[in-house]
Structure 1
Amino acid sequence: MRKYWKSMAIVIGIVLGIGTFYVNSAMSAENYPDFAIQTLSGDPEEVESLVLDGSYIISSPANYVSTDLKITAQGSSYHSRSFLDRIIGYYPTVIKELQEEHRTFMRGKHPMVNLFFEDNEFLAYAYADHRISSLGPNNFNFEISVLNKADDKVNSFTLEVPDEENVNHVFVIDVQLVEDTIYIITQNMMRNNEGFNDEMHIYEIDLVSQELTNNEALLKYTQWNEDIHTHIQLVENSPTAANKHIILLKMEEAMMEAAESIRVTDSKQEIIFYNLATKENETVNVPGLSLEENQLSFVEGSTIYFTRIEEQELIITPYRLGENQVDQDFRIQLQATIENEPLQIPMISVKEGKLYVVSYQMDSNSNGDVVVVDIQTGKTLFEGQIALETSSEEQGKFELYLNEIYIN
């Protein structure tokens, strides 16, 4: 019996720890406040489909409480994650809904939004798997599954990643489905004679024959080259939405090593547009617009949108790709400010021609902005704030961090 006492003590400790976790969560839940999206102007129906996910935090020398919450037009609800969920991590709302609607298909899939594509007919998934040996990663394969929603049939197969002997890593960053072709956009680390280089890559796979039909490196670059750091970002609106083109933001920063840190001495940005149908790419030059001052924030159809902050205004500049035209700015007055912190560009999402703007953060001294704008006209359809439904001194200090906008 003695040789088992350590194992028994560990098990008892885990059980007590989990029990304490749930007791503390239940006791704390009684004091959680109610948040609401309050209307300042416009039509409240514009936020009926809006879902905000975030974290509510109370931090003091004597206590620390953090729990997940969801805020909608109907109010707020708290959903403390289980002990296991907190270890595994956060699942985006898109993944949660896919798991509920297509439970069988989603079983065993990695819960990352960028691995999925969905439209009215299909739900597609692609993942780059590999093995680890004493020589490092090898045996790279694409795991591909496509669900036909009409008959619930699933087309699943595996393909070897080409040029596997020179591949050190493959990260899937987007999946697109156009007719019978699935496009897998990846960021690859490739071996070469001098070490490693990076590639933004695109693979085309025919779903009928289950064969690779095209394999192309969109960009080749080195992340760290002497004192230059290069970063490539895929720009999109909804990760699961259908797009017939790819927009990449290339950023180069010149770095200088100081006494105790590394600082950026110069930077430049470049926008690259790639058409999936024609396989043509071009560098986008936006006339009269500085990319250092304007952030490329989102895409809607063939229009890309830049944002910047001026005092308390969010300024949005649309640029139509096909016509090489910058449209009129539209301005959104922001109300919320965090004391002693600069105003940041808020969370932005677009759906069905409407722009949703939501503050990332609020606290016990400030509310959060919620604005809905018609992106065709620039007209503000709704202006409101995330605020406590009832405020009192007993509530004390808190912080609210929002990490996701979801529109049903």
Structure 2
Amino acid sequence: MIRYWKLISIVSVIVLAIGTFYIQSAVALSNYPRFVFQKISGDEEEVENIKLQGSYHDEGMQDGNLHITSDETVYYNELSFLERLGGVNQPSRITRLREEHRNFMRGKDRDLSMLYDDESMIGYANVAAGPFGSGNRDFEIKVEVLDKKSNSTTKFTVDLPEKERYRYVYVEDVQIVNGEMKVITRNYSYETNSDNTEMHLYSLDIGGQKVVGDDVLITSSESYVGGAWSAVEFLDETHNLSSSKYIVYNINHWKDVQEKEGNYYQEKAGSEISAYHMETGKHIQFELPEEISQANYKASVDGSIIYFSIGTETGFEVIAFNMDRQKEESSQRLEITRPIVDIEEDLIKVKDGKVYISSSNKAPDRESNISVIDLESGKLLYEGFIELEKQQSNRNYSLYIHQMIVEK
């Protein structure tokens, strides 16, 4: 009899917990505001493939991570327990993979950088480490590859080359090229400090289940030394599920400049763009024109072209740099009065001949623009704002947009 009472108690606790979760979710659903794309002009279909990821902050209520599309606003706090495991900001391609290959995708869809997908296979790689103690961390590369045709999975684990040298290792991207898995990582070395960065590309023979290559793409110190520092980043188009012809990385150099009043501000001291050709294994260092290297810009990759967006007084200029030819291919000055593009803050992407622009934040006293422009003609295809839905209180809030995804 005691056994049954224990079982009843356990079931009751589970039911209560689930009920409480959904009640709290329902309350959150009613409290969180909805945002919409409010059109001023143009074709609304131009923004149907845009997903804005960010966070909402409001006086008197908890913060909320969210995504906004032309159809909906979704907050993390509104999701079911199972949906939360997948995350609020997953692209539709991840959703399809979860539906079609649920067993393989279990636990693997939280970080896009670790996944690769094409018509025949799905690849996954993660760098895992043992407990962090006084000694070196035992880094391993864990690999899984699903053959979609046979529905068979290959799994293996290999030691990270020279693993004793590294304090931290993060996966930046995974691709499969000619039967080899390419795992691009950001490694922080023990040898100096955690700001010493090495970008590695590890080549793994899937059939042989072994590491066959370790290329150091770039080494740089991100430490603040003598009023100067550098920042290394992969351009965000590298972080996708498909093959990329090039892995492109950007290094911006900054320095402190003192004003007459004694205050300091940060000034760009130059920049470098480098790339790694995935099929040939060739490293390419681009000599950028001074008008680009010395400017504050946003860079966007589409195929073999890097698009540099540079602010002007009346809009911005987009310069196309062809990586195959290693030269500037074209430039287009887009003069628009609304929105005035803030290169420092706005999110800008160039994809399939179109320029997508979104403001990075919104508040009751601050407009948030969203626009789509045809790159060749300069025509404004869509112009609008991110607004609260009608009949919602204009409470004191801040909406921050961290990332803009333009899906195919």
Q: Please give the range of the TM-score, normalised by the shorter of the 2 chains.
A: 0.7 to 0.9
Of 278, 281, 292, the residue aligned with 2:280 is: 278
Q: How has the CA–CA distance of structure 1 residues 292 and 103 changed in structure 2, closer, same or farther, with 3 Å as cutoff?
A: farther
Q: Measure, in 2, the Cα distance between the counterparts of 1:286 and 1:119.
A: 33
Cα shift at 1:143: 0.6
In 2, Cα distance between equivalents of 1:148 and 1:350: 33
How far the C-alpha of 1:219 sits from its partner, in A, is 2.1
C-alpha spacing 1:329/1:58, structure 2 compared with 1 (3 Å): same
Q: Identify the residue that residue 3 of structure 2 maps to in structure 1.
A: none
Alignment of 1:301 onto 2:303:
yes
Contact kept in structure 2, 1:312 and 1:335, CA below 8 Å: no
Q: 8 Å contact 1:92–1:404 — kept in the other structure?
A: no
Does the 8 Å contact 2:234/2:249 carry over to 1? yes
* Aligned pairs (5 A) from 1:124-163: 124-132=123-131, 134-163=133-162
Cα distance change on mapping 1:378 and 1:209 into 2, 3 Å: farther
Alpha-carbon contact 2:67-2:88 (below 8 Å) kept: no
Match of 1:74 among 51, 71, 74: 71
- Paired AA for residue 219 in structure 2: K
How much has 1:299 moved relative to structure 2? 0.4
The 8 Å contact of residues 254 and 265 in structure 1, kept in 2 or not, is answered as: yes
Contact 2:54 2:65 in 1 (8 A): yes
Match of 1:36 in 2: 36
- Shift in Å, 1:248: 1.5
Alignment correspondent of 1:398 = 397
Give the letter for the 1:80 counterpart: N
**Alignment deviations for residues 77-120 of structure 1 (CA, whole Å, 9 cap, x no partner):** 55524697999895531355544443211223372221122233
Shift of 1:382: 2.0
Contact 2:353–2:374 (8 Å) recurs in 1: yes
| Alignment pair present for 1:328 and 2:331 | yes
How much has 1:180 moved relative to structure 2? 0.6
Distance 1:276-1:71 versus aligned 2 partners, 3 A rule: closer
**1:402 Cα deviation after fit:** 2.7
CA distance change for structure 1 residues 31 and 170 in 2, over 3 Å: closer, same or farther? closer
SS of 1:80's equivalent in the other structure is helix
* DSSP 3-state at the match of 2:113: helix
- Tell me, yes or no, if the aligned pair for 2:180 and 2:205 is still in contact at 8 Å: yes
| Structure 2 counterpart of 1:274, one-letter code | Y
Provide the residue aligned with 1:211 in structure 2: 210
- Give 1:311 deviation, angstroms: 4.5
Q: Which residue of 2 aligns with 1:3?
A: none
Q: Which residue of 1 aligns with 2:10?
A: none
What CA distance in whole angstroms lies between the structure 1 residues aligned with 2:396 and 2:166?
A: 51
* Residue deviations 1:140-195 (CA, integer Å, cap 9, x gap): 21111122233332222111111233333322211121121111111223344x77
State the match for 2:252 in structure 1.
251
CA distance in 2, matches of 1:225, 1:390: 47
Counterpart of 1:247, as a letter, is V
- Whether the 8 Å CA contact 1:294–1:306 is kept in 2: the answer is no
* Aligned: 1:50 with 2:53: no
What is aligned with 2:363?
363
Paired amino acid for 1:305: Y
Asked if the contact 1:130/1:137 (under 8 Å) is kept, the reply is no
The amino acid of 2:382's aligned partner reads F
The alignment status of 1:117 with 2:116, answered yes or no, reads yes
- Answer yes or no: is the 8 Å Cα contact 2:143–2:157 preserved in 1: yes
Report the AA paired with residue 118 of structure 1: D
SS of the aligned residue for 2:77 comes to: coil
Give me the TM-score of the superposition, normalised by structure 1.
Answer: 0.79
Q: Matches of 2:360 and 2:255 in 1, distance apart?
A: 29
Report the equivalent of 2:319. 317
Residues 329-344 of structure 1 mapped to structure 2, 5 A cutoff: 329-331=332-334, 333=336, 335=338, 344=344
Give the whole-Å Cα distance in 2 for the aligned partners of 1:306 and 1:186.
Answer: 25
With over 3 angstroms needed to count, the CA separation of the structure-2 counterparts of 1:372 and 1:147, relative to structure 1, is farther
SS at match of 1:132: coil
Q: What's the TM-score, normalizing by structure 2?
A: 0.79
**Alignment partners' CA distance in 1, 2:323 and 2:55:** 37
- Aligned identity (percent) is 26
Alignment length (residue pairs): 384
Distance 1:346 1:224, change over 3 A: closer
Q: Quick check: 343-352 or 229-238, which moved more? A: 343-352
Structure 2 distance, partners of 1:163, 1:144, is 18
Q: How much has 1:272 moved relative to structure 2? A: 1.3
Asked if the contact 1:123–1:148 (Cα under 8 Å) also holds between the matched residues in 2, the reply is yes
Counting only pairs closer than 5 Å after superposition, residues 6-25 of structure 1 correspond to structure 2 as none
Aligned partner of residue 289 in structure 1, secondary structure: helix
Uncovered stretches (5+) of structure 1, i.e. residues with no partner: 1-11
Local SS of the residue matching 2:129: strand
Bigger mean CA offset, 263-272 vs 108-117: 263-272
Name 1:198's counterpart in structure 2. 197
Whether contact under 8 Å (1:34, 1:388) holds in the other structure is yes
User: Matched residues in 1 for 2:183 and 2:103: separation?
Assistant: 23
* The structure with more strand, counted as a fraction of residues: 1
- How much has 1:397 moved relative to structure 2? 3.0
**Which digits, 9 at most, give the CA deviation of each residue in 1:332-384, with x for residues without a partner?**
6364689xxx7744223454443322222222234422222334554432222
Structure 1 pair 34–168 and aligned structure 2 pair: CA distance change class (3 A): closer
How big is the alpha-carbon RMSD for the aligned residues of Structure 1 and Structure 2? 3.8
After superposition, the Cα gap between the structure-2 partners of 1:269 and 1:344, relative to the gap in structure 1 and judged at 3 Å, is: closer
Residue 301 of structure 1, CA deviation: 0.7
5+ long unaligned stretches in structure 2: 1-12
Measured in 2, the distance between the counterparts of 1:294 and 1:48 equals: 29
Supply the distance in 2 between the matched residues of 1:120 and 1:295 (Cα, whole angstroms): 35
TM-superposed CA distance for 1:243, in Å, is 0.9
